[in-house]
Amino acid sequence: MSYVKNAAIFVLSAIAYLACFKLNSWLFSAQYAQGVNFIFLPAGVRLVVFLLFGMLGSSGIAVATIYLAWQETTGLSDLPGLLLVGAVSGYAPWIAGWVFSRVETVEVDLNQMNGKQLLQLALLSALISGSMMQVLRLSGAPVEEFLSTAFFMAVGDFVGILLTLYAVKFSIEMVGRMWRLRA
């Protein structure tokens, strides 16, 4: 792959995540707790970008997450924390894909996975992402608080993933229909 193509995938993945993050905060302001949305569409963008572009897309999302976290804090005072949040956000779908491919012995590829496999991967990705984010956020917090926020974050991620996957599927079908009508 050329450097220009790689750079484009990286940058477009980051922009898609940032745009979806802003859209999500505009559409769904209801939160269970600070930073724990009932519907989190960017979780779907994370999984779709990983399925389409692999680690390169995930790296773009990691950098976009670092930028978002940096905006919420007072700068680079907690650089290790920013890097950890970016890594969890960007690479949790990759971890889920790796675990899923070992358990199901299937290649994690959007074109080769059936609906049941996508649903299972979506659930696994939401559980891993929600749990890992809450470990970072609530280290030292009471167990009950960790469990409830991790659960609701996973639910919000799962709903966001499903909505995003179906929107992408619908869009692909619509583009396909338009191409067939023109032919």
List the CATH number of the domain containing 93. Answer: 1.10.1760
pTM recorded for the entire structure: 0.88
**Helices then strands (H, E): number in the chain?**
5, 2
Could you give the CA distance from residue 173 to residue 49 in angstroms, rounded to a whole number?
Answer: 18
- Domain enclosing residue 115, as ranges: 3-182
pLDDT 10s per residue in the chain (183 long)?
Answer: 699 999 999 999 999 999 999 999 899 877 777 778 889 999 999 999 999 999 999 999 999 999 998 887 756 667 888 899 999 999 999 999 999 999 988 888 877 888 899 999 999 999 999 889 888 876 655 667 778 888 989 999 999 999 998 898 888 888 888 888 886
Domain total of the chain? 1
Host H or E run for residue 180? helix 143-182
